[in-house]
Amino acid sequence: MKIRVLAMLVGIIISTSAICQDYIYLNNGDRIEAVVTEQTKTAVIYQMFGNSQEGIKLVNKTDIKMIAFSNGKIENFGNEVDFKVKSKEDFTKNLFAYHLADLLINNFTISYERILNSGKVGLQIPFSVGYEGDYEELGDFQNKYYTGLYLNFYPTGQGKWRFFLGPGIRVGQGHIEEYYYDYNTGNDYYKNEDAFYFKFHLNNGVIFSPIDELSIAASVSLGVRYVDSDLLDNKMRTTGAASFNMIYRF
């Protein structure tokens, strides 16, 4: 009889203790067995379950995912960590690019792009210097130098593969050489001069990042170009371009 009574008392004590036990689930995956005593605007105050000698403790609400109370109530704090946002790839917002394809048209071109915090917009500043080459293969106009501003939109945000599009402007100076034949004298003549030019174009391209620090980009553009020179029959004309870039991200 005494053993039966003792067993009942032990069962009551165990069940009572279990009822008083709360579980605090943290964002880092830890679980705290506790007895929550109070909540403030910024913290939860508790004692470790089964060890009152440790005294009162507190944890910031920003570190808590949820609390499962002993009475069955669940309180969610909505502080789950967004690992995608906090990944290193999303925080490398600076892009330094070397435009490899421009070497084919006798240009040395680099650019710097800053990705805004949203990851959906980038501001890019190019700088290009042209060097002497075969003018006949380059058409009616060769770049001497230019700079400008491109506004790049990333509809899908930042990731391993990124598509971008957006407008851009260039301002700079170029060189023109015009050859002609004088039938009266039978001689070849040419005129040449440097001229200011302006270009507005729309870019479309894709970026691939095999590793966090390195990206490869390919793009095409279409727009209009204005050259301030009377040597050209048409000062304004349509123009297009293609680019292949190596990008260092930091």
Residue by residue, pLDDT tens for the chain (250 residues) are 555 544 454 454 444 444 568 899 998 888 998 989 899 888 999 888 877 667 788 899 988 989 988 888 888 887 655 444 444 444 589 999 999 999 988 899 999 999 998 889 999 999 999 987 654 444 667 889 999 999 999 998 888 899 999 999 999 999 887 766 667 776 776 778 899 999 999 999 999 999 889 999 999 999 999 999 888 878 899 998 899 999 999 9
Cα four-point dihedral sign 122, 125, 130, 136:
positive
Global confidence as pTM: 0.61
Q: So what's the pLDDT on residue 125?
A: 98
| Residue among 221, 9, 239 at smallest CA distance from 140 | 239
| Residue among 150, 147, 195, 193 at smallest CA distance from 171 | 147
SS3 4: helix
Q: So what's the pLDDT on residue 171?
A: 97
Rounded CA separation 239/232 (Å) = 15
Q: So what's the pLDDT on residue 29?
A: 83
H/E stretch holding 88? helix 88-91
H/E stretch holding 97? strand 94-99
Q: So what's the pLDDT on residue 16?
A: 45
The distance in angstroms from the start CA to the end CA of the chain is 77
Q: So what's the pLDDT on residue 67?
A: 92
Q: So what's the pLDDT on residue 226?
A: 94
Inter-residue contact 34 to 23 (CB < 8 Å): yes
The three state secondary structure string of 14-79 is HHHHHHCCEEEEECCCCEEEEEEEEECCCEEEEEECCCHHHCEEEEEHHHEEEEECCCCCEEECCC
Which domains are assigned to the chain? Answer: 2-76 (2.30.30.100), 88-249 (2.40.160.20)
Contacts of 193 (CB under 8 A, 6+ apart): 175, 176, 229, 231
